Amino acid sequence: MAKVEIYTKAFCGYCARAKALFRDKGVTFEEYDISMGGPKREEMLARSNGGMTVPQIFIDGAHIGGSDDMAALNRQGKLDALLGL
Residue boundaries of the structural domains of the chain:
4-83
Q: What are the residue ranges of helices labelled H in the chain?
A: 13-24, 39-47, 67-75, 79-83
pLDDT of residue 40: 96
Counting every residue written for the chain, the total comes to: 85
Predicted model pTM: 0.94
pLDDT in tens, 13-50: 999 999 999 999 999 999 999 999 999 999 999 999 99
List of residues 6+ apart from 65 with CB closer than 8 A: 51, 56, 57
Cross-strand bridge partners of residue 32: 7
Answer for the pair 14, 71: CB distance below 8 angstroms, yes or no.
Answer: no
Q: What average pLDDT does the segment 57-78 reach? A: 97
Classify domain 4-83 by CATH number.
3.40.30.10
Cα torsion 10, 12, 18, 20: sign = positive
